[in-house]
Amino acid sequence: MSSALHPDGKLNPADTIANPSSHETIRDLIETRLFTRRTFIKGSLGATALATVGGSLLSCVANDASAHKYKGDHKPVDQQPDIGFTPVAPNVIPMTDAVTVPAGYTARVLVSWGDSLTKAPHWDPSMPMDEATQVRCYGGHTDGMHYFAFPFTGHGALASKRGLLVTNSEYVDPALLSGVAPAADYAKVAITPEMVKAQQAGHGVNVVEIYQEKKQDWEVRRNSPFNRRITGNTPIVVSGPAAGHAMLRTEADNKGRLVLGTLNNCANGYTPWGTYLTCEENFNGYFGSVDASFVPTAHENRYGISRAGFGYRWHEADARFDLSANRNEPNRFGWVVEIDPWDPKSKPIKRTALGRFKHESAAISVDADERVALYMGDDERNEYVYKFVCARRYNKRNQHANRDMLDNGTLYVAKFNADGSGTWLPLIWGQNGLTPENGFADQAEVLIKARQAGDRLGATMMDRPEWASVHPSTGEVYLTLTNNSRRGNTPVSSNKADGTTTAATANPVVDAANPRPDNDYGHIIRWREDGDTVTATSFVWDIFVQCGDKATTKALAGSYTNAEFDGQNVGYQGNINGDDYGAPDGLWFDKHGRLWIQTDQPGDAKGDWANIGGNMMLCADPTTGETRRFLTAPPHAEVTGLIGTPDGKTMFVGIQHPGEDWATSFTDHSTWPDNGANGPTTYRGRGVAKPRSSVIVITKDDGGVIGT
């Protein structure tokens, strides 16, 4: 779209940079031999640790599809997950406008943007969206999700036939939603309060009751009392150490304890006590200033707050998003929000103890001692990885006692050392320079300014931390690092496909945990806590995989050649054992230990991505690294959000922003799902079909477990 939008050309780029510090410039890190998978297991953990991993070291629940009926699920680590399907081909140009899954599987549309969650009619996609319609219909750009089995179904087959699917609606395409075409004209039209309200209503969270009538046939229960939309205007309570802080107070909320809305809800988490966690990512893009003389403070710069924002232009019609009128409003976003899906009247809660940054996901782990931790990434170039450790133990017998677990605990930021060890650095006021003279008046300010706190502690700048997921039996945490065009080399000589050179002066150089300059294709890192307890302050780590295109002839810039990594290929070719992909983003371990990987690739089958094709979902064996492509998406769609039913026989997957291409009209590249490629949808040919973000449901034709 036009240059009035974000400079990167994407409305929700997740690819900006706000970290000017370059404290992790240890040039000789690159000399350090990277851990291989083999040395990680045998060298770092040692024979003793290896001998014990067959037992239940962690009763982690990251894969437990029925958190409301929490039960740890332990499988020996040496048991290979059964991956039995034949991979699908990449979706290369000319691209197929459909979701494709392997032979023997079926992918059908479950719910799409604008589908009614009540008995009132579905939205007619040929019309602009209005607020009244959007607040009762499925929201925009679907993202992270979780499936909550109905409590009375126990762990039997019924648990996998009826549940609440809770999903994020990360953002909207304002031109598509407000009926502005061509999309480039959105930068020029007059913005009305009605347009802004409708767009805000397209954000947030969806709680949707679903049920399986017969095999392959899941439906939305449109009149369910549980169905709920939480939007950019829903009242949300602020709790934890930053609640009520001066930096959170506004004229409309002079107590700083009640925010309207949750925005840019990217990925998610869930808790064993039956709640959903939704993570606020690129909140900064919604704010702007009508005052042309607006100059951001250092704090605002650190969070990417700018006069123009990303081009939504809400500030022109809603003073809440006008920085010249409401300077503190952005501080009220960038949090993890906890939602009780079982109580439609309950207010969601912003849990400030978990820190404020561009939250991607929140992966929970409960160890053998019932201690609870959440692993979280801050998705921006050169930002950090965090861990929150709850002060209290998880109480299995009294779920109510767990309700405020996330208000008390310690937030840590990660430092990945060159020798394969790592340290969790505590973000505690008064310690390690987190003091008033350095801009931290109290613990609330440490949390509101978590990024600056991480800077001060010398956390490791990462290649855009996206989702984390916890292995169901080992407790090892895997985390996607999607890409980083702002990591330099010495000397810097960019070899980006488009011929541009990355300005490198302020960029960190490569390090052991982020070993590629100008990291186009991304990688997946993993770590294991010392002592297999989530309260550990040290860990060991290695790189699970370097993503890339094995067929590319591109070489890394400068002096970094594959040979320097002792035979380990860390060039642009990557070292995937199986089907190629890049820009890993969504990540989820199913309970059998299959690692599902979703991609958010830029370029979409062009340039560096010609062989890899469009976005996809893959399934990997965490032990062997074997990787097979399970699903490909329509053109210009991202694959993001996934969860299985407890029996593993149904999987829900998010297909976000089909056809999103800001350079052209929105109808040019996709009419999915209303083209019927994955079964009938609610659209009935009333006008121009708009591409619509949707959740698909995947079943195996023989009724078996997905992935086998």
By rule CB under 5 A, what string of x and - marks binding of each residue 462-481 to Ca ion? ----x---------------
Residue 280 binds which entry of ligand FEO, Ca ion, none, CB below 5-8 Å type-dependent: none
590 binds, among Ca ion, ligand FEO, none (CB under 5 to 8 A by kind): none
Q: Using CB under 5 A, count the residues that bind Ca ion.
A: 4
- Closest to 348 (Cα-Cα) out of 451, 268, 285: 268
Nearer to Ca ion (CB atom), residue 14 or residue 263: 14
Binding of Ca ion by 511 (CB under 5 A) = no
Contact of residue 170 among Ca ion, ligand FEO, none (CB under 5-8 Å per partner type): ligand FEO
- Residues of the shown chain interacting with ligand FEO in the complex, contacts defined by CB under 6 A: 14, 170, 266, 281, 360, 379, 466
Residue 14 CB, shortest distance to ligand FEO, in Å, is 4
Task: Map tokens 């009938």 to a residue.
Answer: 680
| Binding residue for Ca ion, selected from 542, 600, 660, 661, defined by CB under 5 A | 600
- Residue closer to ligand FEO, measured from CB, 614 or 648: 614
Query: Contact between 585 and Ca ion (CB under 5 A)?
Result: yes
Bridge partner list, 527: 477, 541
Instruction: Take residue 24 and report the two structure tokens written for it.
Output: 């992790």
Kindly state the DSSP code that residue 90 receives in the 8-state scheme: P
Nearest CB to ligand FEO, comparing residues 466 and 590: 466
| Residue 61 C-beta: closest distance to Ca ion, Å | 22
Contacts with Ca ion, 3-42, as mask; x by CB under 5 A: -----------x----------------------------
Separation between Cα atoms, residue 486 and residue 508, nearest integer Å:
8
Least Å distance, CB 164 to ligand FEO, is 22
Pick 361 or 699: Cβ nearer ligand FEO: 361
Contact 264, 232 (CB under 8 A): no
**Minimum distance, C-beta of residue 134 to ligand FEO, in the bound complex (Å):** 20
Residues 548 and 579: beta-carbon distance below 8 Å: no
281 binds, among Ca ion, ligand FEO, none (CB under 5 to 8 A by kind): ligand FEO
The Cβ of residue 151 has, within 10 Å, a number of other Cβ atoms equal to 12
Cβ contacts of residue 272 below 8 Å, gap of 6+?
61, 64, 67, 70, 364, 366, 394, 396, 402
Which residue lies nearer to ligand FEO by CB, 143 or 338? Answer: 143
The interface partner of residue 236, options being ligand FEO, Ca ion, none and the CB cut-off 5 to 8 Å by kind, is none
In angstroms, the CA 129 to CA 594 distance is 39
Buried b (16+ CB within 10 A) or exposed e, 356-377: bbbbbbbbbbbbbebbbbbbbb
Using left for φ > 0, alpha for ψ between -120 and 50, and beta otherwise, residue 98 falls in beta
CB-based burial, 270-283: b 16+ in 10 Å, e otherwise:
bbbbbbbbbbbbbb
Is there binding between residue 520 and Ca ion (CB under 5 A)?
Answer: no
Question: Judged by CB, which is closer to ligand FEO: 359, or 456?
Answer: 359
- In the complex, least distance from residue 466 CB atom to ligand FEO, rounded to whole angstroms: 5
Tell me the C-alpha distance between 185 and 499, whole Å.
29
Report residue 588 as tokens.
Answer: 């989820």
Complex with ligand FEO: residue 161 or 358, whichever CB lies closer: 358
Looking at the Cβ atoms of 340 and 585, the one nearer to Ca ion is 585
Distance, in Å, from the CA atom of 209 to the CA atom of 166, rounded to the nearest integer, reads 9
Residues at the interface with Ca ion (CB under 5 A): 14, 466, 585, 600
